Amino acid sequence: MIESSPAQGNNLDPWYDSYAARTAGLAASEVRALFAVASRPEVVSLAGGMPYVSALPQELVTGAMDKVMAERGPVALQYGSGQGVPALREQILEVMALEGISGSADDVVVTTGSQHALELFSKLFIDPGDVVIAEGPSYVTAMVIFNSYQADVDHVPMDEHGLIPGALREHIARLKAAGRRIKFLYTIPTFHNPAGVTLTWERRLEILEICKSEGVLVLEDNPYGLLYFGDRPPAAMRSIEEDGVVYLGTFSKTLAPGFRLGWALAPHAIREKLILANEAAVLSPSSFTQLVVSEYLSQADWRGQIDTFRGVYRERKEAMLSALQEHLPELSWTNPNGGFYVWLTLPESLDSKAMLPRAVKELVAYTPGTAFYADGNGRQNIRLSFCYPTPEQIRVGIRRLANVVSGELDLLETFAGTGDLSQLRMSRGAFPPSDLR
């Protein structure tokens, strides 16, 4: 049995004192911590953003796999390029063209999911103490990555139209006046995770102008851009600005996350460093996965399949909004025109994180808003995911959530006199001021 002194570690991990300082930023996200509970069949999970992969006909995938192994098996099972298969990179250009992006296949780097691209980019750019600017709220695992590289995340307010340009100017000026080093702006402009809102075209232009004039690189993360429900969303920010924007894309939402296949489109110099970082991390992304996805894109009606996904998610979003209107009509929430998420605002007296155990006991799971802030905000908010459960499960889940909210307010009224239902009087569909801290 290994024993350790306080100088050598602790009783649970004798190597505690040997870890690099940056590992202090590695913490289990509240989304990942929910998966074990949410996977229980009796629990309706409105927590994780898992795509509904059952809408993808299995024969499309198995057919591509069989053909790859029959015709290119030795290549598929071998090491490959650190940049990715050339044919797939050309096809990725076709995918991005749907969002107004033009570019060269030479500037595309294939990664093991766009999450991997985000990690590689952070590794290249962040030194301890640097500042990353991000929307408030922002993607939970991006916060984990930035923290792991010992960056400080500065959240800029957003509203129902996305990141607020005036607030961005103010934050940049304040940070520069304090002598802080800003490395980049991380943004999810289209069908934002977790807020569900989309940055308007006018704001995209203004934010790019601000970043260009201030010398701030933009990291555009765009997993959901093709999953629109009505009119097409604004073109990607990368379609406007090439030198100052690094674009991250993925097949996880428009095909399946199990392929773990994403990409970065970057200016030439950054692309070169991303390739080196990719090779240092994984040698090369999976040749087998790349060739299967390339075959799928060559043979299948992948645009039609994305239309199918749009229909599935549109129906589920409508089921969620209808259930919220029926069971929690006095609360406020966002109305996304694409993507996976609704951002719900609770009465001021409630704490979404503290309320979660009661929700799980009532057999419904959600992600508390605190997961999406690096500074402790978001206690009044909940991210609700409509992508995976069926419409009926969504209705059941929202009904259970309403019972939880009502029960919490009853307890507050009974024991503290603070649960007055008048707190629920908020304008529906708005992006509440509490989210803008």
Average pLDDT of the residues in 23-48: 73
Write phi, then psi, for 110 (nearest 5 degrees): -80, 135
pLDDT at position 427 is 40
CATH of segment(s) 21-50+304-412: 3.90.1150.10
pLDDT at position 54 is 94
Q: For residue range 275-285, list pLDDT tens digits in order.
A: 999 999 999 99
Task: Give percent of the chain with pLDDT exceeding 90.
Answer: 82
User: Where do the structural domains in the chain lie, given as residue ranges?
Assistant: 21-50+304-412, 58-300
The residue assigned the tokens 């807020």 is: 195
pLDDT at position 430 is 45
Q: At what angle do helices 114-125 and 268-282 cross, to 10 degrees?
A: 110
| pLDDT above 70 (res 435) | no
Dist CA 115 CA 32 (whole Å): 14
Dist CA 322 CA 345 (whole Å): 16
- Expressed in percent and rounded to 5, the helix, strand and coil fractions of the chain are 50, 15, 40
* Residue 385, H or E segment: strand 381-385
Average pLDDT of the residues in 130-144: 96
Dist CA 284 CA 110 (whole Å): 9
Residues paired with residue 203 on neighbouring β-strands, in sequence order: none
Q: Which residues contact 147 (CB under 8 A, 6 or more apart)?
A: 25, 26, 27, 153, 374
| pLDDT above 90 (res 273) | yes
Q: For residue range 44-71, list pLDDT tens digits in order.
A: 999 989 999 999 999 999 999 999 999 9
Q: For residue range 208-249, list pLDDT tens digits in order.
A: 999 999 999 999 999 999 999 998 999 999 999 999 999 999
**Higher local confidence (pLDDT), 31 or 41:** 41
| pLDDT above 80 (res 300) | yes
Residue 182: pLDDT band with limits 50, 70, 90: very high
| pLDDT above 80 (res 434) | no
Average pLDDT of the residues in 179-195: 98
**Higher local confidence (pLDDT), 180 or 10:** 180
| pLDDT above 80 (res 5) | no
Beta strand extents in 152-241 (DSSP E only):
152-159, 162-163, 182-187, 217-221
Dihedral of CA atoms 76, 81, 85, 86 in degrees, nearest 10, equals -140
Task: Please name the amino acid found at residue 176.
Answer: K
Q: For residue range 378-432, list pLDDT tens digits in order.
A: 999 999 999 999 999 999 999 999 999 999 998 887 876 654 545 554 444 445 4
Write a three-state SS string for 223-253.
CCCCCECCCCCCCCHHHCCCCCEEEEEECCC
Task: Give percent of the chain with pLDDT exceeding 70.
Answer: 89
Residues paired with residue 345 on neighbouring β-strands, in sequence order: 332, 381
Residue 266: pLDDT band with limits 50, 70, 90: very high
CA 425 to chain centre: 30
**Higher local confidence (pLDDT), 299 or 432:** 299
Level-2 CATH architecture, domain 58-300: 3-Layer(aba) Sandwich (3.40)
pLDDT at position 412 is 82
Q: What average pLDDT is seen over the chain?
A: 91
Three-state DSSP at 345 gives: strand
Tokens describing residue 360 = 């799980």
Given a contact cutoff of 8 angstroms between Cβ atoms, the answer to whether 135 and 13 are in contact is no
Q: Please, what's the b/e burial string for 284-308 (b: 16 or more CB within 10 A of its CB; e: otherwise)?
A: bbbbbbbbbbbbbbeebebeebbee
Q: How far apart are the first and last CA of the chain?
A: 50
